[in-house]
Amino acid sequence: MKVCIAEKPSVARDIATVIGATQRKDGYYEGNGFQVTWTFGHFCTLKEPHDYYEQWKYWRLEDLPMIPPSFGIKLTENSGVEKQFKVIEQLVQQCEEVINCGDAGQEGELIQRWVLLKAKCTAPVKRLWISSLTEEAIRNGFQQLKDSEQYNNLYAAGSARAIGDWLLGMNATRLFTKKFAVGKVVLSIGRVQTPTLAMIVARQKEINAFVSEEYWELKTIYRETEFTATIERLKNIEKANKGLAYLKEHPFEITSFERKEGKEGNPRLYDLTALQVDANKKFAFSADDTLKYIQSLYEKKLVTYPRVDTTYLSEDLHPKIPGILQDMTPYAALTAPLLAKPIPKLKTVFDDKKVTDHHAIIPTGVYPQGLPLEEKRIYDLVARRFIAAFYPECKISNTTVLGVVGQVEFKATGKQILEPGWKEVYANDQKDEEEEEGEKIIPEFTVGESGPHEPRIHKGKTTPPKAFTEATLLRAMETAGKQVENEEMREMLKDNGIGRPSTRANIIETLFKRKYIDKKKKNIYATQTGIDLIDTIETEILKSPELTGQWELKLRQIEKGEYAMETFKQELIQMVIDLTKEVKTGSYKVITIAHEPPPAAEEKPKKPRAPKKPAPEIQELQCPKCKSHPLKKGNTAYGCSNFQVCGFKVPFEAFGKKLSDKQINDLLTKSKTGKIKGLKMPDGSEKEGKILLSKAYTLEVE
């Protein structure tokens, strides 16, 4: 029997229907040689501090930094999770093969791998990797199952991300809370959360410090076209009035007329961030809501996998495009011109080098019906963007006219659409866009022509920097804080943006939940608590988007097999050690603003208890000799699960002493135990010392 594990019951049902597992059982489907079961979100999580040591249950500076000897996982405490996990555990222990049908991304890989690890799965594992949930995609996916090992780097990157977030989040939050907070204030620090907050606070400070100033500009109307003086803005009305009087004494003369034809390139296909940006601009949807809507559309088989960061399609999809367009019947009026001729294989759309595990978000061609309004709007964005990608470019005419009144130079610019091209797909939005951008049609002028004009003074005020909206904040996270408008440049910066497309919405929601930021209409601003927190953190590495972007780059390199997970982990451990030392000896501003109280378990006990020995799961450790197989518990020793080839083992008893799990764990992770009394030596004598794991992987006494 082959066991398929999906990430949601609804997906399991779709898979079961396609592969013929039609008998409903308690917690799974069965039939045609398959059993199809499911998880629902994160069944397993990294162990909490108190799972390693009793004393780590309490928030105390003297216990920091907390560096577990090895990271273990545990089942999420939830009765529904526990019941379904037992079903999974029983099925995988009795099957001939497991097929991982989890969400085809880093988070989905991590969720499923942890479940299989916790269930002690020993059966061979295959991977279903698909970009949509249509029947055709599922059927094709089962015909091309991958070896699970192909995704080991993806799993390593997910594990490194989780461990990195644990190390920094757990330690830095306790460190800053116990060092600087007063009362029951919790100062939450996160690897992505804190630099995101720092960007918002920096912008907030610019806005708060901004002092608006009045200015005056000279303008004039000549032949129903408004021109603006190119001189610097005037700082007082007296100079403006003098300028106006001067202009009235002279005619307007055209000195230059230039009209250039150009093109406006088609908009790129959507990645998740671009979709969230547009949905926020057009409908004021939060990033989190947009993610929920597009995920729902994916599960309804209407769009492809949404948690992506590429705007390209793989080249092998080109022959399938006409079929998808043909099936998009609600958009028949827009697709008809495209289907009348071959679909071009555009380099801005198809590029295998720009596609990794998944391609850009596009419709599947399945007919959308009965959708809630919000999902309908998101689907419409995706559908129109897909259609627009294959339309001709928009041809425009840019006009620049220069003139002079006496010695004062004037300028007017305008834009005219000659052939709308892809903009026809957005015909209803076009008028609004033109008004918003101040586009205008400039009539023909002849150099040297001259005549009367209508000068005037325009009074204005300087405006502060714009507050972040979710749209602009998502873009800032994508580019690690760099202001980038060019789409090609943004594409290049994605590898070291902060956070992942699938997690950025959650980061923003967390900042709202913590009350570090708030919203007025679309604008996001930092609360005083958020500002105080960032002011307290003097360690630049915690709040620099650029440095955090470098960590993200390393995580992507781990995913590609170009960087070692263990190296990344050790770098973070060292950073946490250095940070703890720096903060413990430093003195910064103290936060006194009331905030959410810590859980009762975080309060310092009246009588500090002696630390208990940790109980790590040794079997979750890798063999230190071959470094490629987990350890296994035998009758007299822990040994490599590939013992016949590797030969490594650590006995339960050595030098006359029964070793505790803590001592064995220390041997495996640190290569030595603490001091032990009464060790029996080969000559019959007794000695106090440490047991060492030598380079030859034998036990010795120091």
Catalytic residues: 305
Q: Which residues of 170-197 are buried (b: 16+ CB within 10 A; e: fewer)?
A: bbbbbbbbbbbbeeebbbbbbbbbbbbb
**What angle (nearest 5°) sits at the alpha carbon of residue 321, between those of residues 316 and 325?**
165
Using CB atoms within 10 Å of the CB of residue 104, give its burial: 0 to 12 exposed, 13 to 18 middle, 19+ buried.
Answer: buried
A 10 A CB-CB count for 281 gives 14
Q: Which residues of 241-257 are buried (b: 16+ CB within 10 A; e: fewer)?
A: eebbeebeeeebbbeeb
- CA 99, chain centre distance (Å): 27
Residue 62 token pair: 């003297």
Using CB atoms within 10 Å of the CB of residue 610, give its burial: 0 to 12 exposed, 13 to 18 middle, 19+ buried.
Answer: exposed
Using CB atoms within 10 Å of the CB of residue 155, give its burial: 0 to 12 exposed, 13 to 18 middle, 19+ buried.
Answer: buried
Using CB atoms within 10 Å of the CB of residue 125, give its burial: 0 to 12 exposed, 13 to 18 middle, 19+ buried.
Answer: buried
The CA distance from 50 to 170, in Å, is 12
Q: Which residues of 413-445 are buried (b: 16+ CB within 10 A; e: fewer)?
A: ebbebeebbbbbbbeeeeeeeeeeeeeeebeeb
Phi, psi of 425, deg, nearest 5: -65, -25
Going across the sheet that includes 631-633, the strands are 631-633, 637-640, 649-651
The CA distance from 183 to 177, in Å, is 10
Contact 670, 700 (CB under 8 A): no
According to the 3-state scheme, what is the secondary structure of 599-619? CHHHCCCCCCCCCCCCCCCHH
Contact 324, 363 (CB under 8 A): yes
> Shortest CA distance to 591 belongs to which of 650, 530, 548, 645?
530
> What single letter denotes the amino acid at residue 558?
I
The CA distance from 552 to 503, in Å, is 12
Cis, bond preceding 372 (omega within 30 deg of 0): no
> Shortest CA distance to 84 belongs to which of 47, 42, 46?
42
Strands (E), 374-451: 394-405, 408-419, 450-451
Residue 560 token pair: 């590609």
Contact 231, 252 (CB under 8 A): no
A 10 A CB-CB count for 205 gives 15
| 3-class secondary-structure state, position 76 | coil
What is the H or E stretch that residue 52 is in? helix 49-52
| 3-class secondary-structure state, position 254 | strand
> Shortest CA distance to 274 belongs to which of 302, 299, 305, 309?
309
A 10 A CB-CB count for 542 gives 22
Our CA dihedral for 297, 299, 302, 304, rounded to 10 degrees, sits at 100
